[in-house]
Amino acid sequence: MREVFHQSLEDVQGRLVEIAELVTVAIDKATRAFGTSDVALAEEVIEADAVIDEKAIELDELAIEILARQQPVARDLRIVVSALRMSASLERMGDIAEHIAQLTRMRFPERAIPKGLKSTFLKMGELDVEVARQLTELLRTQDESLIDAVRNADDSLDDLHLSVFEKVLSDSWQGEAAATVDATLASRYHERFADHAVSVAKKVLYLSTGDWTTTTDTITVVAPEQ
Amino acid sequence: MREVFHQSLEDVQGRLVEIAELVTVAIDKATRAFGTSDVALAEEVIEADAVIDEKAIELDELAIEILARQQPVARDLRIVVSALRMSASLERMGDIAEHIAQLTRMRFPERAIPKGLKSTFLKMGELDVEVARQLTELLRTQDESLIDAVRNADDSLDDLHLSVFEKVLSDSWQGEAAATVDATLASRYHERFADHAVSVAKKVLYLSTGDWTTTTDTITVVAPEQ
């Protein structure tokens, strides 16, 4: 039974990694599409999101099947419950990639990226892809040093998110209301990826420390100051 | 054992209702604080969010204990897993109320609500409270007619969210960039409550239909058109 359980857990882990890989591709394509107004690339992201949703449902079904058939207790039980939560966070990251792709498509043939913020959004996009890669690697290897890497990238993204507000609220900002709306929404989306990544990373940490309460999602309080 | 399980489920349900009630209070206070620039009321929401987080953790612990001790299968198992997901959505609704309260506090003594959008945000706030009340009642009574009520309110909130963008992007909009940022963020927060409420309501529906796949969160594609 124990061996069957461990095979099942490996299956769960493999699927989490697979979903994280798909999410990484979605984030990479969405942020590049946004940066370059590539509507074809944006369409790819929008179409592919259904695959991520499906994989997440399959993983949930597998986790529920494991709970029903193998009736794990203690730490084993928490691993399976964690997997359910990680899948929800990964699925949400896919949704946010889709949001960015939709914003890109809606603005086409205009540029979605507001003037004066190109380099900031390119940096945010690169960091988002890095975070997604680190998260995938963390899920694959359980190498805890990657948890700090994910947290650091989240901090950098929070800083960049604030810098978008600083720019938009500065005297030098010449964007119309539409550009301000786009900057606000796009920056929020770019920043949210990392919040979800930290949330998943914390659950991996729980599995080694056993401290469940730290796995609750903390909110990132990032809002524009005037 | 069966009876013990049913008592446990009643306990889970009671706690979901309790959290939903706290969330309703948070949404009521946050949206009123936002509408009237009441910073004391905003502070109350910010302080009280820790209680919602704690209650959600306690509910999760209870659900995990039920899984471990009573090893439910089939529909019973799915009820417990659903409770874990509902608690995550309710907790997130509390976070969003806190975001609105923070925005109110950050703008104080200025008005957080952008000029020209007061009646729209008041309507959104009222609908958010209504949605939270309907959801609480749904969790308490399992009265499925409330699911449609929640969905209808979500549709109305999506329309109001779009109307905020229409206003901000119209020629009549005279707000500075800061007002545009506030309108964008606040509208997104006001609209998100209902998305989470629909997500919880769908899980209640699943419990009667058994159709698990419909419980996956769909994303609301509401973005500004130019």
**B220 falls within a domain:** no
**A224 falls within a domain:** no
- Angstroms from B91 CA to nearest CA on chain A: 9
pLDDT of residue A200: 96
Confidence band for B226, pLDDT divided at 50, 70 and 90: very low
Q: For residue range A184-226, what is the model confidence (pLDDT) as tens digits? A: 999 999 999 999 999 999 998 887 676 655 555 544 445 565 4
pLDDT of residue A226: 47
CATH for B106: 1.20.58.220
From chain B, pick out residues whose CB is under 8 angstroms from the CB of A219: 95, 98-99
Chain center to CA of B120: 18
pLDDT at B219 over 50: no
Q: Which residues have a Cβ under 8 Å from the Cβ of B8 and sit 6 or more positions away? A: B62, B66, B70
**A130 falls within a domain:** yes
Q: For residue range B189-207, what is the model confidence (pLDDT) as tens digits? A: 999 999 999 999 999 988 7
Would the CB atoms of B102 and A221 count as touching at under 8 Å?
A: yes
Which among A91, A103, A184 is the nearest to B181, CB-wise? A184
**A14 falls within a domain:** yes
**B225 falls within a domain:** no
Q: Which residue type does A160 have?
A: L
**B172 falls within a domain:** yes
From chain A, pick out residues whose CB is under 8 angstroms from the CB of B112: none
**A211 falls within a domain:** yes
What's the per-residue H, E or C state across B31-66? HHHHHHCCHHHHHHHHHHHHHHHHHHHHHHHHHHHH
CA closest to B53 among chain A residues: A216
Rg, C-alpha atoms of chain A: 19
Rounded CA separation A129/A22 (Å): 12
Number of structural domains (chain B) is 1
The residue among B202, A96, B130 whose CA lies nearest residue B122 is B130
pLDDT at B225 over 60: no
Mean pLDDT of chain B: 92
Q: For residue range B18-47, what is the model confidence (pLDDT) as tens digits? A: 999 999 999 999 999 999 999 999 999 999
ipTM summary value = 0.89
Q: For residue range A31-86, what is the model confidence (pLDDT) as tens digits? A: 999 999 999 999 999 999 999 999 999 999 999 999 999 999 988 999 999 999 99
Confidence band for B223, pLDDT divided at 50, 70 and 90: low
Would the CB atoms of A99 and B185 count as touching at under 8 Å?
A: no
* Domain ranges, residue A127: 2-215
**A89 falls within a domain:** yes
